[in-house]
Amino acid sequence: MAKKIKNRNLWFTADLHLGHSNIIKYCNRPFSSVEEMDETLIERWNWLVKPKDVVYFLGDFCMGGREQALQYFNRLNGQIYVVPGGHDKRWARFQGSYTGLNCVVRILSSLYTITYGINKQVIVLCHYCMRVWDRSHYNSWQLHGHSHGGLLGVGKQMDVGVDTNDFYPYSLEDIERRMKELPDNFNLVKHK
């Protein structure tokens, strides 16, 4: 069942990899240390996201366990909904929600669908890129991470990882603009 979204202060992002020193070389990130990377990512998140905003985080938050994840979450703004990725297994085992200093964190399933707006736009969220997804034949959107900007999408699909946006989250408005420029999904049902 899709969650209906009313709040327009929506943000989407993925692949912070906080505390993961090897990601700097794997993704050619412009940081001299993991500490510099972590501070920049947290600063850029909080520059845009306010405490009452909603953020859908699409996986690979941090490398550590639950305590490290909670320390990072305590420094971030927003109501954070986590669609876990492969690197989140150590800390995302806890269910329900966590209330931090400036955020509320909720762990969702690894595949999650939301709808918003008058036209009830369907957005499918997953850490991984898919070839087809829920209602893709009706031009639904799929947002993902994991590929760090190295994989071209098909149709209305977008990598929202930090490596694709100068280490900032994407606003819903950013995504709406980009989706208008993308081609229809290849499996779109043509109504006659």
Task: Report which of residues 116 and 8 the model is more confident about.
Answer: 116
Provide the token pair at 43: 């600063």
Mean of pLDDT over the chain: 91
Question: What is the rounded distance in angstroms from the CA atom of residue 100 to the CA atom of residue 91?
Answer: 15
- The CATH fold of domain 8-181: Purple Acid Phosphatase; chain A, domain 2 (3.60.21)
pLDDT tier for residue 191 given thresholds of 50, 70 and 90: low
pTM for the structure as a whole: 0.92
Provide the token pair at 100: 């931090």
Of all residues in the chain, what percent carry a pLDDT higher than 70?
Answer: 93
The pLDDT tens digits of the residues spanning 69-113 come to: 989 999 999 999 999 999 898 888 766 677 777 778 999 999 999
The pLDDT tens digits of the residues spanning 3-29 come to: 655 555 999 999 999 999 999 999 999
Cβ-in-10-Å burial (0-12, 13-18, 19+) of 149 comes to middle
Q: What residues does each domain of the chain span?
A: 8-181
